[in-house]
Amino acid sequence: MRNLGIVLGFCVFVLEGLLILRGRGRKTLRLFPFFYSYLIFCFLWIVGMYAIHWLKPQAYPSAYWICYLVSILVEFMVLVEISDQIFRPFPVIRSLGRALTALISLGFGSFYILPTIFASTGRSHAISGFVLRTFVTKAIILAVLFYVSKQYGCELGRNVGGIMLGFSIYVAINVAMMGSIEAFGSALFARVIWFIEPLAFTLCLLVWTISLWEPAPIPNAQPISRPFESSSRSIDMDLIRLNTELSKILHK
């Protein structure tokens, strides 16, 4: 299983490298700073893991778990990026959305995720509970962002839509995996984590590679009103009015 996980990890390494190089060549690194910062972190993580695997293999399991748990927290940067892109036409609401995403993450982290660590009796159970609740939190934030984007008619575009879809696939697979581990015991955790997690991330990266290979047109600075849909036009005006009012409050 670990060898399979290493092979999948190499696939992840190649796809991450392609995405980073393509983003640099197509000048999309600046358009999605949080997203590409996360990718660069993951790329360096894999480089470090391969170095440890070949130079000091006995330290590989411990180093893997430390980096894995850190990466789970760093993944919240992708959610911040999605939130930023959804509210790109509204600078003030965009900042508010970023703050709300961070607050929701901190709130769930304090009252939903961390208690599993202190309440668990064994290390394996504590880690699996921590990972499960972290991914459930990400799934909830994704659902909220998806609802908001649909409710207010925010244009995602192919790039942002691809980031959201790929990350949703990755989160869904991990929620299913960790839920199964919670149901069937921690012994399953040690056997499947080595290849299911990189497999999920490989699928995620494939979606990201396809959607980000060419930069899509950025949605207009103002929301697109549809004259034949009065409700959509009303939502557009409400968002513009909210953005204006918040801007006035912040500049007082």
CATH of the domain at 67: 1.20.1070
- Indicate whether 175 and 251 sit together in one domain: no
Q: Give residue 59's identity as a one-letter amino acid code.
A: A
Q: Are residues 42 and 95 in the same domain?
A: yes
Q: What is the DSSP letter of 121?
A: S
178 & 252 share domain:
no
Please tell me the predicted confidence (pLDDT) of residue 225.
Answer: 42
Q: What pLDDT sits at residue 227?
A: 41
Same domain, 199 and 244: no
Is there a single domain that holds both residue 115 and residue 210? yes
| 187, 129 Cβ separation under 8 angstroms | no
Question: What pTM value is reported for the model?
Answer: 0.78
20 and 72, same domain (yes or no): yes
CA-wise closest residue to 117 among 128, 101, 104, 105? 128
Q: Are residues 125 and 39 in the same domain?
A: yes
SS in 3 state form for 5-36? HHHHHHHHHHHHHHHHHHHHHCCCCCCCHHHH
Tokens of 57: 């293999």
| 199 shares a domain with 162 | yes
Shared domain for 173 and 251, answered yes or no, is no
- How would you write the pLDDT of the chain (252 residues) with one tens digit per residue? 556 767 787 888 899 999 999 998 888 888 899 999 999 999 998 899 889 988 988 888 788 778 887 888 888 889 988 988 887 766 656 666 667 777 777 776 666 666 665 655 666 667 777 888 889 889 998 998 888 888 777 778 899 999 999 999 999 999 988 888 777 776 666 667 677 888 899 999 999 999 999 888 766 544 444 443 444 445 455 555 555 544 544 445
State the pLDDT at residue 124. Answer: 66
Residue type, 157: G
Residues 236 and 147 in one domain: no
Total structural domains in the chain?
2
Show the domain range for 170.
2-221
Looking at the fold, whether 29 and 146 belong to one and the same domain comes out as: yes
Same domain, yes or no, for 103 and 17?
yes
Query: Which pLDDT belongs to residue 193?
Result: 67
